[in-house]
């Protein structure tokens, strides 16, 4: 079980590097789908089957199809070289990002130890349990979310109209 986590973790990191460094948006989008699928497998391993399925259906299914559709619609091709780019950013950026990762790793290591297991006792994460929690404790956020989606749909229609 653990070995699957490491395999898919490495797949996710490699695909994420590909998302960032591909110069063609379609390749970035396809790499992002690989990241999302690998994360869905990791969610399954971590005992969150419902979230894993939502990840595949909503994220990899719906959202990424929207992305690929817009990339094709706008015919987004190869990204050209930038006209103005700060020279010191190239030398300062990677060390700072690496420092961020190391700093975070040290904090986590001090807080949780290097090999502290991620679970205390098994958790009932079935869709029924999530549904009960969603419609009892989290009913207000749920309703607010439905209004948010309504506003987002209206906003998308208004923004995509001919004259803006």
Partner 1 sequence: MIPLSHILLLSVILFTLGAAGFIIRRNVITVFMCIELMLNAVNLAFIAFSRRLPSLDGQLFVFFVIVVAAAEAAVGLAIIVALYRNRNSLAIDDVDSMKM
Q: Nearest Cα to 60, choosing from 29, 84, 81, 91?
A: 29
CB of 91 to partner 1, least distance (A): 13
Q: Any contact of residue 140 with partner 1 (CB under 8 A)?
A: no
Would you tell me how many other CB atoms lie within 10 Å of the CB of residue 67?
Answer: 15
Residue 37 interacts with partner 1 (CB under 8 A)?
no
What's the token pair of residue 39?
């994360």
159 binds partner 1 (CB under 8 A): yes
Tokens standing for residue 155: 């906003």
Question: What SS3 class is residue 1?
Answer: coil
Span 57-96, contacts to partner 1 by CB under 8 A = 58-59, 62-63, 66-67, 70-71, 73-74, 76, 79-80, 82-84, 93
Q: What's the first-to-final CA gap in the chain, in angstroms? A: 52
* Options 92, 128, 139, 145; binder of partner 1; rule CB under 8 A: 145
Cβ closer to partner 1: 87 or 118? 118
Distance, CA of 160 to CA of 123 (rounded, Å): 44
Which residue number, 9 or 91, has a Cβ lying nearer to partner 1? 9
């Amino acid at each position: 079980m653990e070995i699957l986590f490491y395999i898919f973790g490495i797949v996710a990191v490699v695909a994420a590097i590909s998302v960032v460094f591909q110069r063609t948006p379609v390749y970035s989008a396809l790499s992002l789908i690989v990241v999302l699928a690998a994360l869905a497998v990791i969610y399954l391993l971590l005992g969150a089957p419902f979230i894993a399925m939502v990840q595949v259906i909503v994220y990899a299914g719906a959202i990424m199809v929207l992305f690929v559709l817009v990339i094709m619609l706008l015919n987004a091709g190869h990204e050209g070289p930038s006209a103005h780019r700060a020279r010191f950013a190239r030398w300062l950026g990677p060390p700072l990002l690496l420092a961020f990762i190391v700093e975070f790793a040290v904090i986590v290591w001090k807080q949780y130890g290097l090999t502290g297991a991620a679970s205390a006792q098994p958790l009932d994460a079935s869709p029924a349990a999530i549904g009960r929690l969603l419609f009892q404790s989290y009913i207000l956020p749920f309703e607010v979310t439905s209004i948010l989606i309504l506003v987002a749909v209206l906003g998308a229609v208004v923004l995509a109209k001919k004259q803006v």
